[in-house]
Amino acid sequence: MDLKILQLLVDFGLVVLIWLVQLCIYPAFIYYNNQNLLRWHNSYTPKITVIVLPLMLTQLFLSIYFLYNQKDFYSLTNSILVVLTWLSTFLIYVPLHQKITLNKNAHLNSKKLIQYNWLRVFAWNLIFLLNLINYLINS
């Protein structure tokens, strides 16, 4: 398979996933009482990680590959955006999920997830659009 096509598929998968998370999954957290939120969250996070982590790792490896082999505006911009999604994930979202798991203001942190997650929505949409434009220009 062409690696550019694989990159677009992974990027699009993350776009679909992040919109589902932003519009359906995170907002649903506020409808749970505290006990049920903790139960659901402890079930949800390992399951979503099985989907998210392979996509994010593949996106990271492809961005490194294209940055190393192409060294152009698109690969540099893509790599910066991918690194930003990783940083935001581990500096913002993982700690918020940990606070929910530890029952530290679970509903407040759920609301913070919804607010802050727009950063990843924007980043993953931009990554996909830039890579799509790059693909269309260079095909």
Q: What is the pLDDT of residues 69-126, one digit of tens each?
A: 998 999 999 999 999 999 999 999 999 999 999 988 888 889 999 999 999 999 999 9
pLDDT of res. 139: 83
Q: What is the pLDDT of the chain when averaged over all its residues?
A: 95
Section 54-60 average pLDDT: 98
Q: Where are the beta strands (DSSP E) in the chain?
A: none
138/45 Cα distance (integer angstroms)? 38
pLDDT of res. 105: 87
Match 């993350």 to its residue by tokens: 14
pTM comes to 0.93
Structure tokens at 99: 């606070």
65/6 Cα distance (integer angstroms)? 12
pLDDT of res. 130: 96
